[in-house]
Amino acid sequence: RDVGWLGAEQRWTVGSLATAATFVSSGLGFAWLPRHLIERELREGVLKPLPLDQGGSRHPLFYLYSNKDKPLGPATQILIELLRNFDTAPLDVPFAAPAQA
């Protein structure tokens, strides 16, 4: 039995954050969205943050797996660094790749 939003009788499930932002901007619901993706809509007043007494921030867990017999390439190493720093990155700037050595 599903509980929470998975058990909701009415819910939208979309394939991208951009589509979710479009749905929310059209008044079709609400969603957790990255601030940098909706900055213009927030500035123009199309979207507004919901006032939550609690639960206003999320802390997702990331798990990354690879083949144990293959070395990690440069893109995977960058991804690992991004995931390690995800929760400590400033919220007021877009998430960017770390500088390469």
What pLDDT does residue 40 have?
93
Residue-level pLDDT, tens digit, the chain, 101 residues: 555 666 677 878 899 999 999 999 999 988 889 888 999 999 999 999 888 777 777 777 778 888 999 999 999 999 888 878 766 666 555 555 555 54
d(CA 73, CA 31): 34
Task: Show me where the domains of the chain are located.
Answer: 1-53, 59-101
Cβ atoms 15, 23 nearer than 8 A: no
pLDDT of residue 64: 82
State the Cα–Cα distance between residues 38 and 19, nearest whole angstrom: 12
pTM for this entry:
0.54
Neighbours of 20 (CB within 10 A): 21
Q: Which tokens belong to 96?
A: 């960017």
**Which pLDDT score, from 0 to 100, does residue 63 have?**
80
